[in-house]
Amino acid sequence: MSDRNIPEEVAVALTYNRHAYATMMASPLDLEDFATGFSRAEGIIAEHQEILDLEIVVLPQGIELRMTIAPDRLRDFTARRRRMAGPTGCGLCGIEAIAEAMRSPPGVTTELFVQPDQIPRMVAAMAARQTLNQVTRAVHAAGYWQPTSGLGPVREDVGRHNALDKLAGAVARERLPGPGVVVLTSRVSLEMVQKTAVLGAPVLVAVSAPTALAVSMADAANITLIAIARDDGFEVFTHPHRIVDKAAINVA
């Protein structure tokens, strides 16, 4: 019988004013951040203050994130809910219209420049902050790096989408100033780019490869997509103008 440490995975239901929206399989950590980040990524709220109340309800078979949102947001939410074929399980599943799944995120308007030697340092810094992964070796992480302060919040989850939602929630709730870089320990798919765009991060760095659709979406959203970032280098797929040497940053 194995005595390996393994991560928890529970059903997390997200409800708004007692209306069900989605049930995700997630790690039961940083759930306040998850509620905020998921709600922003789905367009249910625009600012974290629009969640007027959040109650974390532990149930026999899972957890409910019971949110109360403002009346104007509730109207929009109700209209969108009518278009849903069913609850989502992975961020895309259950969405009735293909157009909804392929929605274009807002174009990123903030600017940020990074030096080539900073990129492997971002990735290396993530390892020390992945406390759950150090024990289980079985979860994904998303981190937020800023030029003035280095690596800020890092969030982990069994699901890579959830980890990024938790990170977005943390950035919003902590009101971090200025733009930053999203750093992922996973591959980059379409929805990861969409979530990064909603967060407003102009640079996305990942240790694994992107999909073709993710590259297309990053290009359209004005995001610099850097992937396959390892100790020995990285590849830039979109908007390479943000990767500059120190002298160019000082001149800018």
For the annotated catalytic residues, the residue numbers are 90
> What would the two tokens of residue 125 be?
């810094």
Q: What is the 3-state secondary structure (H, E, C) of 209-240?
A: CECHHHHHHHHHCCCEEEEEEECCEEEECCCH
What is the rounded (10 degree) CA torsion for 213, 178, 122, 202? 20
> What would the two tokens of residue 29 be?
């950590």
Handedness of CA 26, 32, 35, 36 (dihedral sign): negative
Q: What is the chain's percent helix, strand, coil content, to nearest 5?
A: 35, 30, 35
CA distances from residue 175 to 6, 153, 169, 243 in whole angstroms, order as listed: 33, 11, 10, 26
Q: Give the C-alpha separation, 17 to 12, whole Å.
A: 16
Residue 204's nearest CA partner among 138, 122, 132 is 122
Query: Per-residue DSSP letters for 170-219?
Result: HHHHHT--S--EEEESS-B-HHHHHHHHHHT-SEEEESSPBPHHHHHHHH
